[in-house]
């Protein structure tokens, strides 16, 4: 366990991708089976323990420490595993440090009632770093900046001729601790059979159009389509060696999200791979991201949820058809194949994302400003801009230059007043980085601020340090972890908030809800009395409803 904890510790501080790969590959070289296989499983998120959960950890720490002190510490550190690892009042004992394989086995097989005792013994035996690594395993999110893809790349680096994609292809047929995989990449064994008929293929990404001098391009060489405001996914399906049909839904970063979308996966009866957008459709109408988020937020997938939030894929591209790899073909060719494919499959959960016709860049600019009249119709509210793609572009992994562009709507902005702040989690933990902001509205004799949203990104690290200092120096009240920050007509801080959409909301006191709000500028210069009013937000909603 010590060696694995040391690896995680190093990874968590190492910013460079190549150095991370080297650290992981070195670990695989130095560590015997099955120990390294369990580490690979941990890094790729393949370990799931039925009884070992965050709640168990909380229970243990509450027994050993003062709950108030725990809450204050957790609020500061912003990470459960780390807080407990640091606070654990371990007494040094002559305990043997358990190897990773013993811990994984113990977590998987120990009866629920015996688990707390077992975990306590381990926590007492390990040092801080070891405790942190163990608790990270249990909470299931390592958050050390090493993705599954990175770990697989490190596995490939062990072999002379193995590419990361080769590992990706055999991966779904494998089980931890992956002894056959290591044997193969190290040239000691056969390539594991069971190639996955529904693998993940890294997607092609676009550059912002603003960065390119696009008016110099010939519009005839480009096609345009709507950029839907959902989640980019890959629907991959095929038949394995034993004749069984397999379908999977992958996220943009290669996470298998099939379990959350059984309604989609069971309908993927085709043989191929589609790149598309995951959306919620009700009676044929695309719902806003707000609605999709409500489905994503639910932990358990119930029949009621499926009926209320029917998931749908709007296809952008076709990567594979049968066993044929289409990715080298130009976009225009793939598009024809996609049209035929979708028409032939006549699948109720998959439809095609229409192209947007345009003659010149001005025409496209007009479509971007008014998607409703340019073909998006009733679905215009779910359009977040345009994708502009070279007609001759092959499907290239990553973000190649000069082929695909995204041309998003300009964000809307509002000048709001900082009202409350709370400490953040993850990268921003221990700084006051979650800001509740408000705008003015009439109240009796004068006016009052009403909170309209929360923003927790958009600023640089330097700006965060300044904001944090402002909050600490201008606190007027505390409600548990929340600090009230001075906000009167002549004192306080104005934040320019950018956001992608705005809608009426019964859940918010102000009656409005913003999509994707973030701090676009800190207006140190602007008096709070000159911040925006609620009426201007209501006007924005009204304008969108008319559109």
Instruction: Please name the helix (run of DSSP H) or strand (run of DSSP E) that holds residue 520, with its range, or none.
Output: strand 518-523
CB of 466 to another protein, least distance (A): 8
Cβ proximity of 37 and 96 under 8 Å: no
Query: Does residue 82 bind another protein (CB under 8 A)?
Result: yes
Tokens of 361: 């860049």
CB of 87 to another protein, least distance (A): 5
Size of the site for another protein (CB under 8 A): 33
Query: Does residue 429 bind another protein (CB under 8 A)?
Result: yes
Nearer to another protein, 138 or 185 (CB): 138
Query: Does residue 461 bind another protein (CB under 8 A)?
Result: yes
Of 79-87, 275-283, 385-393, 434-442, the window that binds another protein (rule: CB under 8 A) is 79-87
CB of 77 to another protein, least distance (A): 5
In terms of C-beta density within 10 A (0-12 exposed, 13-18 middle, 19 or more buried), how is residue 290 classed?
A: middle
CB of 238 to another protein, least distance (A): 40
d(CA 12, CA 255): 21
Nearer to another protein, 401 or 473 (CB): 473
d(CA 391, CA 333): 9
Helix and strand totals (H; E) in the chain: 19, 20
Query: Does residue 14 bind another protein (CB under 8 A)?
Result: yes
d(CA 499, CA 493): 19
Tokens of 88: 């654990």
Query: Does residue 458 bind another protein (CB under 8 A)?
Result: no
Nearer to another protein, 357 or 465 (CB): 465
Nearer to another protein, 431 or 456 (CB): 431
Query: Does residue 163 bind another protein (CB under 8 A)?
Result: no
Query: Does residue 431 bind another protein (CB under 8 A)?
Result: yes
CB of 434 to another protein, least distance (A): 14
Query: Does residue 353 bind another protein (CB under 8 A)?
Result: no
Q: Which of residues 26-65 bind another protein (CB under 8 A)?
A: 65
Residue owning tokens 């064994």: 189
All residues at 6 or more sequence positions from 437 whose CB lies less than 8 Å from its CB, including other chains: 416, 417, 418, 419, 451, 452, 453, 454, 455, 495, 497
Tokens of 87: 């606070």
DSSP state of 67: H
Phi-psi region of 78 (alpha: psi -120 to 50; beta: other; left: phi over 0): left
Q: What own/partner pairs with CB < 8 Å and gap ≥ 24 does 287-293 have?
A: 287/382, 288/229, 288/381, 288/382, 288/501, 288/503, 288/515, 289/229, 289/230, 289/382, 289/501, 289/515, 290/503, 290/513, 290/515, 292/230, 292/231
Cβ proximity of 385 and 37 under 8 Å: no
Q: 504: closest CA among 466, 470, 458, 539?
A: 539
Nearer to another protein, 54 or 65 (CB): 65
Q: 43: closest CA among 138, 150, 199?
A: 150
Of 52-60, 77-85, 306-314, 450-458, the window that binds another protein (rule: CB under 8 A) is 77-85
- Binder of another protein out of 78, 238, 254, 453 (CB under 8 A): 78
Q: How many CB atoms lie within 10 A of CB 135?
A: 26
CB of 72 to another protein, least distance (A): 5
Query: Does residue 468 bind another protein (CB under 8 A)?
Result: yes
Tokens of 73: 């510490």
d(CA 326, CA 279): 25
CB of 68 to another protein, least distance (A): 5
Q: Which of residues 290-309 bind another protein (CB under 8 A)?
A: none
CB of 130 to another protein, least distance (A): 15
Of 37-45, 262-270, 365-373, 468-476, the window that binds another protein (rule: CB under 8 A) is 468-476
Of 8-16, 25-33, 221-229, 359-367, the window that binds another protein (rule: CB under 8 A) is 8-16
CB of 78 to another protein, least distance (A): 6
Nearer to another protein, 86 or 296 (CB): 86
Nearer to another protein, 123 or 237 (CB): 123
Q: How many CB atoms lie within 10 A of CB 441?
A: 16
Query: Does residue 2 bind another protein (CB under 8 A)?
Result: no
Across 331-471, the runs of DSSP E, i.e. the strands, are 350-352, 383-390, 404-408, 412-423, 432-443, 446-455
- Binder of another protein out of 26, 51, 56, 73 (CB under 8 A): 73
Site string for another protein, 83-122 (x = CB under 8 A): x--xx-----------------------------------
- Binder of another protein out of 50, 55, 68, 161 (CB under 8 A): 68
- Binder of another protein out of 42, 77, 264, 502 (CB under 8 A): 77
- Which residues in this chain contact another protein in the complex, by CB under 8 A? 12-15, 65-66, 68-69, 72-73, 76-79, 82-83, 86-87, 426-431, 461-462, 464-465, 468-469, 472-473, 475
């Amino acid at each position: 366990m010590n060696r694995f904890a040391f690896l995680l510790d190093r990874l968590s501080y190492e910013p460079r991708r190549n150095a991370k790969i080297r650290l992981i590959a070195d670990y695989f070289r130095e560590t015997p089976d099955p120990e390294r296989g369990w580490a690979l499983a941990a890094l790729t998120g393949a370990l799931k323990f039925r009884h070992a959960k965050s709640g168990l950890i909380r229970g243990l720490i509450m027994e050993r420490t003062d709950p108030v002190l725990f809450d204050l510490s957790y609020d500061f550190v912003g990470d459960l595993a780390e807080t407990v690892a640091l606070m654990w009042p371990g007494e040094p004992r002559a305990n043997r440090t358990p190897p990773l394989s013993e811990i994984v086995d113990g977590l998987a097989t120990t009866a629920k009632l015996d688990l707390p005792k077992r975990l306590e013994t381990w926590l007492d035996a390990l040092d801080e770093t070891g405790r942190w690594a163990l608790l990270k395993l249990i909470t299931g999110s390592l958050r050390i900046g090493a993705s599954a893809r990175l770990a697989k790349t490190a596995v490939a680096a062990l072999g002379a001729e193995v590419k990361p994609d080769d590992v990706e292809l055999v991966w779904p047929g494998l089980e931890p601790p992956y002894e056959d995989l290591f044997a193969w990449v190290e040239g000691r064994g056969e390539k594991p059979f069971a190639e996955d008929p529904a693998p993940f293929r890294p997607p092609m990404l676009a550059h912002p159009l603003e960065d390119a001098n696009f008016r110099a391009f010939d519009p005839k060489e480009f096609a345009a389509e709507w950029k839907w405001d959902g989640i980019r996914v890959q629907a991959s399906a095929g038949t394995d060696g034993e004749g069984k049909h397999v379908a999977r839904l992958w996220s943009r970063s290669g996470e298998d999200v099939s379990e959350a979308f059984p309604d989609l996966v069971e309908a993927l009866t085709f043989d191929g791979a589609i790149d598309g957008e995951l959306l919620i459709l009700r009676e044929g109408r695309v719902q806003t991201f707000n609605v999709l988020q409500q489905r994503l937020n639910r932990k358990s997938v119930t029949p009621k949820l499926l009926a209320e939030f029917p998931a749908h894929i709007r296809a952008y591209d076709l990567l594979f058809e049968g066993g044929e790899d289409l990715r080298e073909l130009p976009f225009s060719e793939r598009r024809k194949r996609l049209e035929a494919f979708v028409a032939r499959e006549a699948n109720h959960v998959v439809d095609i994302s229409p192209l947007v016709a345009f003659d010149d860049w001005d025409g496209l600019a007009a479509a971007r400003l008014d998607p409703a009249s340019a073909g998006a119709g009733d679905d215009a509210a779910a359009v977040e801009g345009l994708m502009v793609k070279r007609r001759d572009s092959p499907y290239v992994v990553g973000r190649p230059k000069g082929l695909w562009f995204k041309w998003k709507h300009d964000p809307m902005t509002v000048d709001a007043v900082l009202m409350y702040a709370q400490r953040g989690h993850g990268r921003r933990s221990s700084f006051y980085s979650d800001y509740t902001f408000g705008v003015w509205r009439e109240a009796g004799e004068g006016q009052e601020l009403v909170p309209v949203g929360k923003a927790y990104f958009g600023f640089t690290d330097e700006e965060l340090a300044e904001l944090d200092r402002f909050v600490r120096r201008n606190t007027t009240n505390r409600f548990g972890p929340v600090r009230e920050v001075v906000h009167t007509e002549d004192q306080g801080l104005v934040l320019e908030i950018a956001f992608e959409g705005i809608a009426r909301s019964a859940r918010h006191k102000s009656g409005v809800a913003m999509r994707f709000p973030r701090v676009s500028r800190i207006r140190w210069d602007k008096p709070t009395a000159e911040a925006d009013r609620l009426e201007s937000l209501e006007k924005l909603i009204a304008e969108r409803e008319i559109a």
